[in-house]
Structure formats: C-alpha cells, structure tokens
Amino acid sequence: MTVERSPKATEIINHTRELLTTGGYKSFSYADLAERVQIRKASIHHHFPGKADLVLAVVNDYREEARAGMAATSEHFSDDPLAELNGYVNFWATCIKENSSPFCICVMLAVELPTLPEEVAAEVTGHFADLSAWLAGVLQKGEKRGVFILREGAEMEAKSLMATVHGAMIAARAFNNPELFLPMIKPVLNNLVITA
C-alpha cells in the first residue's frame, strides 16, 4: 500500500535510507538528518514523531519495493526459473557495481535486530520471510520443471541462497570490490542446476 507523503517527508525518507544503508540504525540521529535535509529537527519530528516511526516507514517502503521487484522478476521470467534467480542476483550485482543501492538495508538492520524497536525488528524479519518464500517458490517451480535439484528442500535451499547473496554483499563491501559479488554466488547457483 503506497503512502502519500509530502515532498519533504519523501526527502527525509530518502536520506534516511542512505544513512541506513551505510551505517545502520544507530549510525545517525535526527540532528544528522536535519543537517543533510537542511531543516530543523522539529520539522522531522512533525513528519515522523520518533526515529522508530521514521525507520519503520523506510523499511515498509523497502519491503513494498522488494515485493514488487520479486513479482516483476517472476512475471518477466515466468517460464524460466533459472532466469528468475539470475534476475534477482543480477539486480544486486548491478546495484553494487553502480553503487546505486549497494547494500540491502534489511541486512544492515538484521545485524542490530536484538536492539531495534520491536516494530522495526518485525518488519525486517518480515522482509526476510518474504524473500525466502519467493526464492523457495522459484526453486520449487524449477525442481518441478527439471531445472533444479534441491538436496535440502526448497525452504532450506532458499535460505542458503539468500545467505550467500547477502554474504557476498558483505564481502564486496569489506574488500571494497564489487567484482567479488557474482563469483561468490555462481557456485551456489551452479550447484542447484541439473546438468545434462
């Protein structure tokens, strides 16, 4: 469900998303945000009474975008489960290489999960549930079509693939090398594919 926001609220959301991507929940304050957006802290509080409200709005938007992206990928590659998985992986490879969205904010927030406000933590966990369920569905479809062999079952293979993608994001960031991302994921994808 898309929320109607003022241009200033949208700007606040966008800057918050950047801050979350680079440093997580505890990396910024409303004072930092006010400086970036060039408004008073009170104005931020007008749009988002507390930091938890603001971050929750960002994560809600992120989840909505992610669900739309998964649906679009499935629709575009409806007859090719391997292309669906590659579409997901290549999306992140492009984001990391172009530095347009180099890190999943939910991965960053998951590190802080035990100390996040409950409502934010629930949304972060919900994102991983959404993604895992989608990947499991793609893998099941591929198994039925004779494209994939699932040695551990769809749910576990989905979680393993998700962890590999997120781990590769961390490695690309840790080594400051976007080129590491795809080579780390390819062996896991190749292990799923049935070869003639």
Q: Which residues of 175-186 are buried (b: 16+ CB within 10 A; e: fewer)?
A: eeebebbbebbe
- List the chain residues with pLDDT less than 50: none
- pLDDT at position 26, please? 93
193: DSSP letter: B
Amino acid found at 149: I
Quick one: pLDDT at residue 88? 95
Give residue 195's pLDDT. Answer: 80
The DSSP bridge partners found for residue 74 are none
Looking at residue 194, what is its pLDDT?
Answer: 87
Q: Please tell me the distance from the alpha carbon of residue 196 to that of residue 190, in angstroms, as a whole number.
A: 13
pTM metric for this prediction? 0.92
Instruction: Give the model's pLDDT for residue 1.
Output: 57
pLDDT tens string 34-48: 999 999 999 999 999
CB under 8 Å to 125, separation ≥6 — which residues? Answer: 113
Per-residue pLDDT reduced to its tens digit, 73-101? 999 998 899 999 999 999 999 999 888 87
Tell which residue, 159, 62, 170, has the closest CA to residue 188: 159
Give the pLDDT confidence score for residue 2 in this predicted structure. 59
Predicted local confidence at residue 196, as pLDDT:
59
Return the DSSP state at 114. Answer: G
CA distances from 7 to 37, 59, 88, 191 (A): 12, 18, 30, 46
Q: Cα dihedral sign for 49, 51, 54, 60?
A: negative
How many angstroms separate the CA atoms of 151 and 99, rounded? Answer: 35
For residue 102, what pLDDT is reported? 74
Structure tokens at 21: 């991507």
